[in-house]
Amino acid sequence: MDQYKGKKGLRDMWPLVKQKASREHHILCLGAHSDDIEIGCGGTILQLLQTYSNCNVTWVVFCANGARKQEAVTSAKRFLSGAKAYTIVTKAFKESFFPYRGEEIKAFFEQLKTRVTPDLIFSHCRHDSHQDHRLICELTWNTFRNHLILEYEIPKYDGDLGQPNVYVPLSKELCDAKARYLMEEFSTQRSRQWFTEDTFYSLLRLRGIEANGTTKYAEAFYGRKIVVL
């Protein structure tokens, strides 16, 4: 397991949890593959870290090998530059074989829950057609039972986009940054017909219409179980 740590200050306080501003809060981001987190919730991460000062982030990529590992680390550092502190963890589970490596991945989740106590978790969607994504989602819910979990979406060939119920409006500037970081940091993916700026903008625009907020763009999530205190 490889870990990379960094620190940088911000300005304000975290409003999602009713605690004193002096308390640091922890975001856990889980992605099966090197670009999943960035595609699914990259804009929201940029928004949170731009707005709130006391956020620590643990960023876990379960399949990152060779050039894809370096891309994962470099991209994560860029998205997390506004965090008070961050830890990037890369693993090397075999791509597309996660259901057949379930015991090993489950064991890692058991280790992870002893090391982090997140206030907010971003993970894959239950209805995602990719088998690796679904397993990460299943183990997220199995492992973290007293936490706020938001499931992100990823556009793909399978056509599995659904009807999310949680929206985060984003400025055009943040959407530009998200798309630019993705295109600049993941050179191994640029040959794929779906990995284009207009793919990312189109989903951001569609969710922005649904959010009916003050901006034209948004990222959307599935909040399956939210406890309001």
Terminal Cα distance for the chain, rounded: 37
Q: Is the pLDDT of residue 19 over 50?
A: no
Higher pLDDT, 18 or 157: 157
Which residues, in sequence order, are CB contacts of 99 under 8 Å at separation 6+?
131, 132, 134, 135
| pLDDT given at position 228 | 82
The yes/no answer on whether domain 2-222 falls in CATH 3.40.50.10320 is yes
Sheet-wide strand order for 148-152: 2-7, 85-90, 55-63, 25-33, 120-124, 148-152, 217-222, 166-170
% of residues, the chain, pLDDT over 90: 85
Q: Binning pLDDT at 50, 70 and 90, where does residue 3 land?
A: low
pLDDT above 70 as % of the chain: 90
Q: How far apart are CA 185 and CA 21, in angstroms?
A: 34
Average pLDDT of the chain is 91
Kind of pairing between the strands at 25-33 and 55-63: parallel
Among 54, 43, 59, smallest CA distance to 173 is for 43
The CA distance from 75 to 144, in Å, is 26
- Domains of the chain by residue range: 2-222
H-helix or E-strand containing 21?
none
Q: What is the pTM of this model?
A: 0.91
Residues 125, 30 contacting (CB under 8 angstroms): no
Place of tokens 């779906």: 194
Q: What would the pLDDT profile of 186-203 be if each residue is shown by its tens digit?
A: 999 999 999 999 999 999
Q: Which DSSP string corresponds to 30-74?
A: EEEETTHHHHHHHHHHHHHHHH-S-EEEEEEEEE--HHHHHHHHH
Longest dimension (CA), the chain: 47
Query: Looking at the predicted structure, is the pLDDT value of residue 17 above 50?
Result: no
pLDDT digits (tens, 9 = 90+) for 118-162: 999 999 999 999 999 999 999 999 999 999 999 999 999 999 999
- pLDDT (tens digit per residue) in 95-125: 999 999 999 999 999 999 999 999 999 999 9
Paired tokens of 21:
């501003």
Tokens 């009916």, residue?
212
